[in-house]
Amino acid sequence: MYLQYFGLHENPFSIPPDPNYLYLSRGHQEALAHLQYGLGEAGGFVQLTGEVGTGKTLLIRALVERLPEGVDVALVLYPVLTVSEFVAAICDELRVPHPGEKASLKQLIDALNARLLQTHARGRRTVLIIDEAQNLSREVLEQVRLLTNLETTKQKLLQIILIGQPELAHMLAQQDLRQLAQRITARYGLTALRHDETCDYIAHRCRVAGARKPLFRQAAMHRVHVFTGGIPRLINILCDRALLGAYTHGKSVVDAPIVKRAAKEVGPVARSKRWPAPRALAAMSALAVVLAVVAWQWWPPWTHVFLSEKSPTSEAAPSVEAKPANPPVASATPAAVPTTTPAETNTATSPPDSASKLEASFDNPEARTDTDSAMQTLFERWGLDYAVLTGATGCERALNAGLHCVYQTGTWNNLRQYNRPAVIELQDSSGRKHHVLVTALTADSVSLAMGGAPQEFPVQDVGRLWFGKYLLLWKPPMPGQEILRLGDRGESIVWLRDALARYRGEPLAAETSDLFDQDLQGQLIQFQGRHRLTADGVAGQITLAKLQGYLPDKSPTLSADTMSAEVR
């Protein structure tokens, strides 16, 4: 009803799990990392749990899209079945011939085992994904465990992903299911979105649907987070009703009162007490320990070009700041009601074959998507010759040139915050890895350098092949000081005062203190809050990189993101 009014080509907040709308929050990134890690192991189980509406099914669909061609997938969406029905459903998914309803369990298992052996002999892998696994009966769970006994002398023939609500974790923790629990190689609990992630989620879905300007005021998005607790499905329901309300009242932007009225119309959606903060914090602490153990094994081999046991890890480690969200810029007054038709506003979307064009570009004889070429292009952006610099790794070469590596997992929003060219890894449908340089980034498009002039592709098409790993170079304003905090002294503090003064449009005071005092901390917190960084009063890599944009600086940058404007 409101699509043409807002210049959208489709409903941005529809409920069906469309992978095109996948927003990779920090939790979703880590969940994908666990799923990938588990699939990289030689058999066993992977467990993903999360409350209703947190995006588990959408994650699985995105994972299936990203699997290489050498993987066969059996997806069981309705597991309330008997043991024989369950095994028959797997056979049907894999197109394994069997006698049908008259088949015995042994006949089904034998047919499945024969197919898995054939698949293994052809160099292919088989993955079984079970959604709503908390509804599995004890008998079916035991059969699931027995399916992992189908193996060769060196490898399991079937890898299994269990997806379910938190009850699944409680069920598997029981004594009589310990044999199955011990075979889980990776597990993750998906939580709700944080406040900043909720805002980014709303803006992301609007952009994918074709919005050319922000449709929600900042206060409205805050209200959405309060009412929904950051649950994506509830966000979709509330935002859909809010857009309808704005359309009904003839407003071009959703404000806080409209969200409040929409919340009353859709019923009780608040969930502030369902996940107590201590439990969430404990889960995140446990997750950090798990990630520390598995991260190096999960990271793709290309990262070892940048990092080694001998290379300085502090330059590549994440800063003390949280991963940032979309940077807001100057606000605008409410725009006039759009008068264009959906066809006219669909310029932000990609044509049906644009994703294949991206993959086809990898096969261009002139394309260079190896790691060394990507690093060489990155160094060229900084005016450096990668070949003549000394160092066993790319990060050592950068360090010898006065630069630091930042190697992290993130989203397009993180790259927008750093505003620096970055090497990312893309994986095509055949499972091949390609390393390319992001040279420019807008709301709708990404410019990639892979030999020759950079090529522009839609953000959503590149995002389908990108799992979030990126590496960029960063030059601290003062050598040896990458983090500035209360109590520090020196020229770097004068630099910080100058940058904050320029940000406010004020001249630097004639007599400037070189002490990081509480007044300066307050100024920094205000800056961080305005740019939606973690407002902790500590200037880390992201904050310093953002401040560098307000001073004369020769560092290469990405294009400005015109869609990140904050509407007030």
> pLDDT tens-digit profile of 367-411?
888 888 999 999 999 999 998 998 878 888 888 888 888 877 677
Instruction: Give the C-alpha separation, 171 to 194, whole Å.
Output: 28
Least confident of 6-20, 127-141, 551-565: 551-565
- Residue 135 confidence (pLDDT): 87
Other beta carbons within 10 Å of 206? 23
Closest CA to 321 of 200, 404, 408, 396: 408
Give the pairing type, strands 125-130 and 159-164: parallel
% of residues, the chain, pLDDT over 90: 16
pLDDT band at 438; cut points 50, 70, 90: very high
- Residue 44 confidence (pLDDT): 67
What are the extents of the domains in the chain? 3-18+193-266, 26-190, 299-341+353-477+553-568, 491-552
Check residue 490 and report its DSSP letter: S
- Residue 21 confidence (pLDDT): 83
The segment with the largest mean pLDDT, out of 4-8, 13-17, 335-339, 474-478, is: 4-8
- The answer to whether 325 touches 566, Cβ cutoff 8 Å, is no
Inform me whether the pLDDT recorded for 282 exceeds 80: no
Name the CATH architecture for the domain at 26-190: 3-Layer(aba) Sandwich (3.40)
User: Among the CATH numbers 2.60.120.260, 1.10.8.60, 3.30.300.350, 1.10.10.60, which is that of 3-18+193-266?
Assistant: 1.10.8.60
Residues contacting 398, CB < 8 A, separation 6+: 315, 379, 389, 391, 404, 405, 473
User: Among the CATH numbers 1.10.101.10, 1.10.150.20, 3.90.550.10, 3.40.50.12500, which is that of 491-552?
Assistant: 1.10.101.10
Task: Return the amino acid letter for 132.
Answer: E
- Residue 145 confidence (pLDDT): 83
Task: Work out the average pLDDT over 265-272.
Answer: 62
Give the pairing type, strands 125-130 and 404-409: unpaired
Check residue 320 and report its DSSP letter: S
Residues contacting 439, CB < 8 A, separation 6+: 381, 421, 447, 448, 449, 454, 558
Other beta carbons within 10 Å of 165? 18
Residue reference for tokens 């329901």: 237
List pLDDT tens digits, range 288-341.
444 443 333 333 444 444 443 333 333 333 333 433 333 333 333 333 333 333
- The answer to whether 393 touches 306, Cβ cutoff 8 Å, is yes
Mean pLDDT rounded to a whole number for the chain: 77
List pLDDT tens digits, range 449-470.
987 788 899 887 888 788 777 8
pLDDT band at 40; cut points 50, 70, 90: low
Please compute, for residue 547, the number of CA atoms within 13 A of its CA located in the half-sphere on the CB side: 32
Other beta carbons within 10 Å of 563? 21
Give the residue, 33 or 265, on which the prediction is more confident. 265
- Residue 199 confidence (pLDDT): 93
Instruction: Give the C-alpha separation, 13 to 488, whole Å.
Output: 47
Other beta carbons within 10 Å of 433? 15
Q: Which two tokens stand for residue 274?
A: 């369902």
Query: CA 494, 497, 500: angle at the middle one, nearest 5?
Result: 150
Give the residue, 367 or 479, on which the prediction is more confident. 367
Locate the DSSP E strands across 331-465. Answer: 404-409, 422-427, 433-441, 445-449, 455-458
Continuous segment of H or E residues that includes residue 353: none
- Residue 366 confidence (pLDDT): 84
Instruction: Give the C-alpha separation, 531 to 525, whole Å.
Output: 10
- Residue 202 confidence (pLDDT): 94
Continuous segment of H or E residues that includes residue 74: strand 71-76
- Residue 172 confidence (pLDDT): 82
Instruction: Give the C-alpha separation, 19 to 59, whole Å.
Output: 8
CATH homologous superfamily for the domain 299-341+353-477+553-568: Cysteine proteinases (3.90.70.10)
